[in-house]
Structure 1
Amino acid sequence: MEWLVLFFFLPFVLTLMFFNWLEEKFITIKNREKLEDGEHLIHHRKYKEALSFFTEKLKRFPKSAKAHYYRSLCNLQLGNLYSALYDIEQSLSFDNTVGESYVTKGKILYKLEDYDGAFLEFDKADWHFRSENPIALRWRGIARYQIGQRKNAIEDFQQAVQLGDEDSDYILRTSFEYIHKI
């Protein structure tokens, strides 16, 4: 008897799982196309308009990691650090494979003067980028400098310079004066 119930119930469950998966993929593709307008606003530094745009998108697609990420960028640029931190954490909860999200979270924590937390986020970003992103290396070096790991910070800056980062070169040439201005 159990086999008979399983025989009829299993195709139903598999069909529901397939359509749920298909719906998620369709929404992701559709959502990506609709976020281009907001990306354009960010590119032109219209952060308040972009913030409103992404807030509206998140009302319709609350699980959009990319919309949370972009809203976090807007909040960061507008100085709303705790809102930016909330959004980037939401973004990472939906998709924790994007290195840029860890860089953004690290920048937010750095601005909140949580240098240890910022270092950990920049380290995660560097892991995701496989040590091939000079921005992640530079920011990790800056955070390392703040927590007293000067030798390791210099190594991060030198590695970023090898990848073509002029800001890291400037930091090394000016004896870390740039870090004190951030």
Structure 2
Amino acid sequence: MEILVTGAIIGYIIYLRYYADLRTPSEKERDQLQTGIKLYASCQFEEAFAYFNEKIRAKPQSSIAYLYRARYQRMRGNLPAALDDLQTAIGYDDTVVDLHLERGQILFEQHDYEAAFLEFDKAVFHAHGNLADPFQWRGLALQQLNQLQQARNDLERAQAIVQEQKDGTGTSAGKEPFFDRRFLFNALLVLINSCVLLFVIKETAVVHWPYLLAAVSAAAIGFAQPRKGWLLALLQAAILWIGYTFFTSPPQGGGDRELELFCLYGSIGLTFVGSFVGGVLKRAMGT
């Protein structure tokens, strides 16, 4: 029993350390570079340029830092430097939609429509067809290449995405669906952990093992999903109660049953408490 609980706790620690954060590398970089991004958004361009320059010196593989430095270079009219920065960034991470959009726009302005089309086509691909701008710009490039029907299709698709976002029926870049892949992955882990916890409740002769496992796993739930942890905690509590009530046999002795019920309902209570504590810790860390 001790080995099982210890193994489960170690598994949660490894998960939180290496696998709980399912953001892409570029999404993590954007979060880390918010100071410079806010400077750029507030038109403090010189300060933003200095910020991203320093970040590139410290971490030359930062594709997002190169993106914003390229935007500054483009704004200043230094297009060769902007294209060099964008190409360098694409070499580090070619899945960033904005890199292809930015490079395609510069090529479009230089009347290199074939090369611009290729960049916009990559932007459409990496956006998974969910963003309007890649379709809009690819449509404009296709117009210049005299592929009018394909251009019309892209421009209509761009307008449709914009309308879907206004109506709230589409998936915008800044708003993820509630039941995203991260939530579903964590829900699967909750299911597995609930089965392990139910086994511990049935087999243990003391209350501290199920309580410890429930508290640690619930804290991990809250830490991994600070805004959705309550739903995962509810899922774990429901699985525990349903599993114990309908899929296990009651013990013969009254004392054993009282111990199991004490472990069960105590674990359910600790699931909610631990989830809340984990969420508070994650928000306090600001990550």
Distance 2:40 2:149 in 1: 36
Displacement of 1:80 in angstroms is 1.6
Distance 2:157 2:66 in 1: 31
Q: Which has the larger Rg?
A: 2
State the partner residue of 2:91: 93
Matched, 1:67 2:65: yes
Equivalent residues in 2 for 1:53-132, closer than 5 Å: 53-132=51-130
User: Which blocks of at least 5 consecutive residues in structure 2 are unaligned?
Assistant: 1-17, 19-24, 164-287
Q: Indicate how the Cα distance of structure 1 residues 158 and 31 shifts in structure 2: closer, same or farther if over 3 A, else same.
A: closer
State the partner residue of 1:160: 158
Deviations 1:112-155 (A, max 9, x none): 22111000000011011122211100000111111211221111
Displacement of 1:79 in angstroms is 2.0
The number of residue pairs the alignment matches comes to 139
Moved beyond 3 Å, runs of 4+: 28-34
Higher RCO (CA-CA < 8 Å; seq separation 6+): 2
Task: Look up the equivalent residue of 1:50 and give its one-letter code.
Answer: A
State the partner residue of 1:3: none
> What TM-score, normalized by structure 2, do the two folds share?
0.45
Distance 2:28 2:119 in 1: 30
* CA RMSD, Structure 1 to Structure 2 (Å): 2.2
Q: Indicate how the Cα distance of structure 1 residues 133 and 37 shifts in structure 2: closer, same or farther if over 3 A, else same.
A: same
Distance 2:94 2:107 in 1: 17
Q: Indicate how the Cα distance of structure 1 residues 148 and 39 shifts in structure 2: closer, same or farther if over 3 A, else same.
A: same
Which of 142, 147, 150 aligns to 1:149? It is 147
Distance 1:98 1:134 in 2: 15
Task: Look up the equivalent residue of 2:61 and give its one-letter code.
Answer: K
> What TM-score, normalized by structure 1, do the two folds share?
0.69
Displacement of 1:50 in angstroms is 1.4
Which of 131, 135, 140 aligns to 1:137? It is 135
CA contact (8 A) 1:81 1:112 kept: no
**What percentage of aligned pairs have identical amino acids?**
34
Q: Indicate how the Cα distance of structure 1 residues 30 and 154 shifts in structure 2: closer, same or farther if over 3 A, else same.
A: closer
SS of match in other structure, 1:164: helix
Q: Which has the higher helix share?
A: 1
Displacement of 1:89 in angstroms is 0.7
State the partner residue of 2:39: 41
Q: Indicate how the Cα distance of structure 1 residues 33 and 124 shifts in structure 2: closer, same or farther if over 3 A, else same.
A: closer
Displacement of 1:85 in angstroms is 0.6
CA contact (8 A) 1:47 1:77 kept: no
Distance 2:61 2:130 in 1: 29
Q: Indicate how the Cα distance of structure 1 residues 60 and 110 shifts in structure 2: closer, same or farther if over 3 A, else same.
A: same
